[in-house]
């Protein structure tokens, strides 16, 4: 969508730039841009590892770097004889465990809602049933019997109810998993260990069959595996296509690694200096909306040691939440090419919303007005240039008429362009001045687009009749896009024309129709931004027209010179 919007604006810009004086010349198509792979996102400057992860022993933010396997009583069998569903709740989570395999059957985020209005469920039940639920294990090399994912474990809960451990022991095989939650934070201390005859067995812990909010559109395309490589100091993001020919496995020292969608993530932060193995998988499963059609769902497996310990984050990609855990986690929120504008815009929206208005829709209106006020000097300069351009139209038409009888390929046609440019230069006119307002808005347009698409704070934010600013309006006829096109037409008619040719004027007046194809299916917040900009522009243009005597000139036709009888 971002690339299509960019190409649309490039084509519109080409029409606006070339139409006034090259009506018969076809501009060459813009060169195709090579799309950078998603795994080329550049990370921020490297910070000292382990700095945020250190905390007092009573509540460690990271497990100790080395751990010895637990030693169960020799020969003791501790397997349960029933399949229990175990619910663990905190202020933020509702997690359903099963003691068969010691896996997670459901992980609900209480504070976030899906499109059906229910709390967001991050586990895909179809994937869990067919491939194994989250936190099932994958053994590396050596196999044991019975399999750790099929046996029944003994579940033990701590006195405060926030720590849950699962143990299985049969003969010389011993398996243990531990989950230690916090009451009001999105973090869990996790450990897993497997040993056979006292020898630890390297293994991975998996989350298969997709991840995140499955109620939104384009669900599978938004899901990725990710890890931050401390050696190269950059974030790597892999989509499901990277594993289409088999699992993609990497190993190294990573700040964090896991799985994500647009708004949520499940990542582990291993002990500082330890090595972590990350495996990206492609799982063929029926898609929720089309049960008879199989689609590739992404999966991840992490670990690689006989005893795996890590801090686990499962939750929203909220900037403040991520920063409090590890500053490098912020890079999972991808603000795109215009990050240098998107980040300040996001900070401004948050500030206006939190401190004054407490509604993101009105915050967008206020920030848009401020942006237009800051660009006012450029607007005034542009209006003056367009006024001069308007006044020069009779002379420009005279130049065009002078050369109208010459073929387009005649070398003397260059003299026409030179005379026109000399006229512009003499009067201090920028022939591309009419495109300046749109050119100035384009970076902010793309920055707002990214903010609305990736900032979880705007997910589900409402404004008047709009129920979600990050989605198109849920109406048969969408009011904001229609109002935007209407105001675009009005502003076009109020703006002084840079051409006296009636045909060119009609073409320019109908240019706003192109916007209907852009705005009708994009986020409501983005349309609100453009609509607000149009309303501010109309007010500014009315003021300029009254105070500076600016207006659309009447069409002037200059007759071409009569053909001479001389050869």
313 beta partners = 267
Encode pLDDT of 458-500 as tens digits.
Answer: 998 999 999 999 989 988 889 999 999 899 888 877 776 655 5
| Mean pLDDT, residues 97-102 taken together | 93
Domain count, the chain: 2
pLDDT score of 358 more than 90: yes
357 and 288 in a single domain? The answer is no
Residue 402 covered by a domain: no
Mean pLDDT within 147-167: 93
Q: Is 197 exposed, middle or buried (0-12, 13-18, 19+ CB in 10 A)?
A: exposed
- Report CA 40 to chain centroid distance, whole Å: 15
End-of-domain residue from the set 287, 302, 333 = 333
More confident residue, 426 or 466: 466
Per-residue burial over 271-293, b if 16 or more Cβ lie within 10 Å, else e, is bbebebbbbbbbbebebeeeeee
Q: Of 152-156, 162-166, 425-429, give the lowest mean pLDDT range.
A: 425-429
At residue 68 the predicted structure's pLDDT band, cuts being 50, 70 and 90, is low
Is residue 24 in some structural domain? no
Same structural domain, 228 and 295: yes
Closest CA to 216 of 40, 52, 460, 564: 460
Assess whether 229 and 354 both reside in one domain: no
Q: Would residue 419 count as lying in a domain?
A: no
CA distance 123 to 104: 8
Q: Which of 66, 100, 68, 70 is nearest to 86 (CA)?
A: 100
* Residue 274 and residue 141 share a domain: yes
Residue 114 sits in the same domain as residue 158: yes
- Domain limits for position 449: 342-392+429-547
Please report where in the chains the tokens 């604006």 appear, as a residue.
Answer: 9
Q: CA–CA distance from 55 to each of 228, 267, 268, 487 (Å)?
A: 22, 19, 17, 56
Residue 164 pLDDT > 90: yes
Query: Is 167 domain-assigned?
Result: yes
Residue-level pLDDT at 251:
94
Query: In the prediction, which pLDDT does 541 show?
Result: 83
Domain membership of residue 459 (yes or no) is yes
Same domain? 298 vs 353: no
Specify the pLDDT at position 383.
72
Among candidate residues 145, 155, 173, the one with its CA nearest the CA of residue 102: 155
Average pLDDT rounded to a whole number, residues 294-302: 92
Does 377 share its domain with 321?
Answer: no
Do 221 and 352 share a domain, yes or no? no
Which of 334, 282, 291 has the alpha carbon at shortest distance from 453? 334
Q: What is the mean pLDDT of residues 250-279?
A: 95
pTM above 0.85, yes or no: no
Q: In this predicted model, which residue has the larger pLDDT, 333 or 293?
A: 333
**Bridge partners (DSSP) listed for residue 236:** 227
Give yes or no for residue 369 having a pLDDT over 50.
yes
Report pLDDT for 312: 97
Is residue 46 in a domain? no
For residue 26, tell me if it sits in a domain.
no
In this structure, the answer to whether residues 322 and 374 fall within a common structural domain is no
- Report pLDDT digits (tens) over 386-417: 777 777 778 887 887 887 777 777 777 778 88
Tell me what pLDDT residue 240 has: 93
CATH code assigned at 312: 2.70.98.90
Q: Are residues 370 and 469 in the same domain?
A: yes
Is residue 45 in a domain? no
* ∠ Cα 196 197 201 (to 5°): 30
| 328 lies in the same domain as 350 | no
Q: What's the chain's average pLDDT?
A: 80
Domain's final residue, options 333, 364, 381: 333
The verdict on 254 and 355 lying in the same domain is no
């Amino acid at each position: 969508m971002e690339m299509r919007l960019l190409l649309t604006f490039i084509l519109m810009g080409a029409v606006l730039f070339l139409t006034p004086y090259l009506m018969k010349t076809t501009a060459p198509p813009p060169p195709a841009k090579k799309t950078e792979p998603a795994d080329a996102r550049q990370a921020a400057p490297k910070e000292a590892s382990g700095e945020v992860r250190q905390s007092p022993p009573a509540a460690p933010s990271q497990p100790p770097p080395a751990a010895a396997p637990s030693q169960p009583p020799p020969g003791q069998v501790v397997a349960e004889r029933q399949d229990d569903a175990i619910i663990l709740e905190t202020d933020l989570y509702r997690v359903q465990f099963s003691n068969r395999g010691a896996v997670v059957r459901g992980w609900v985020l209480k504070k976030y809602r899906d499109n059906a209005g229910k709390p967001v469920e991050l586990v895909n039940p179809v994937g869990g049933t067919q491939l194994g639920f989250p936190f099932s294990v994958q053994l590396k090399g050596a196999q044991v019997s019975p399999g750790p994912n099929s046996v029944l474990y003994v579940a033990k809960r701590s006195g405060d109810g926030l720590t849950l451990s699962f143990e299985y022991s049969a003969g010389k095989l011993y398996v243990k998993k531990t989950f230690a939650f916090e009451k009001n934070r999105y973090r869990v201390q996790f450990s897993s260990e497997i040993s056979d005859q006292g020898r630890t067995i390297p293994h991975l812990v998996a989350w298969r069959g997709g991840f995140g909010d499955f109620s939104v559109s384009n669900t599978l395309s938004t899901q990725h595996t990710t890890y931050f490589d401390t050696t190269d100091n950059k974030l790597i993001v892999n989509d499901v296509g990277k594993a289409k020919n088999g699992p993609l496995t990497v190993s190294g020292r990573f700040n964090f690694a896991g799985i994500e969608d647009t708004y949520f993530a499940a990542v582990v932060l291993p002990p500082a200096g330890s090595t972590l193995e990350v495996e990206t998988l492609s799982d063929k499963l029926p898609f929720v909306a089309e049960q008879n059609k199989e689609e590739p769902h992404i999966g991840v497996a992490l670990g690689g040691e006989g005893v795996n310990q890590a801090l686990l984050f499962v939750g929203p990609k909220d900037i403040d939440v991520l920063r409090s855990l590890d500053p490098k986690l912020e890079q999972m929120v991808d603000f795109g090419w215009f990050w240098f504008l998107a980040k300040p815009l996001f900070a401004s929206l948050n500030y206006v919303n939190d401190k004054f208005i407490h509604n993101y829709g009105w915050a967008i209106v206020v920030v848009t007005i401020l942006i237009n006020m800051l660009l006012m000097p450029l607007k005034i300069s542009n209006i003056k240039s367009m006024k001069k351009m308007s006044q020069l139209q009779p002379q420009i038409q005279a130049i065009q008429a002078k050369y109208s009888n010459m073929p387009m390929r005649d070398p003397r046609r260059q003299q026409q362009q030179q005379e026109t440019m000399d006229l512009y230069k003499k009067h201090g006119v920028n022939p591309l001045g009419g495109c300046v307002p749109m050119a100035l808005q384009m970076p902010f347009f793309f920055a707002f687009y990214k903010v609305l698409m990736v900032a979880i704070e705007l997910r589900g934010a409402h404004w008047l009749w709009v129920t979600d600013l990050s989605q198109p309006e849920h109406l048969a006829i969408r009011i904001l896009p229609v109002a935007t096109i209407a105001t675009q037409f009005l502003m076009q008619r109020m703006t002084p024309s840079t051409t006296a040719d009636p045909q060119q004027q009609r073409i320019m007046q109908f240019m706003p129709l192109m916007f209907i194809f852009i705005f009708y299916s994009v986020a409501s917040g983005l349309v609100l931004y453009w609509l607000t900009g149009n309303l501010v522009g109309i007010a500014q243009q009315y003021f300029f027209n009254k105070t500076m005597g600016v207006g659309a000139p009447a069409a002037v036709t200059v007759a071409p010179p009569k053909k001479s009888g001389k050869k």
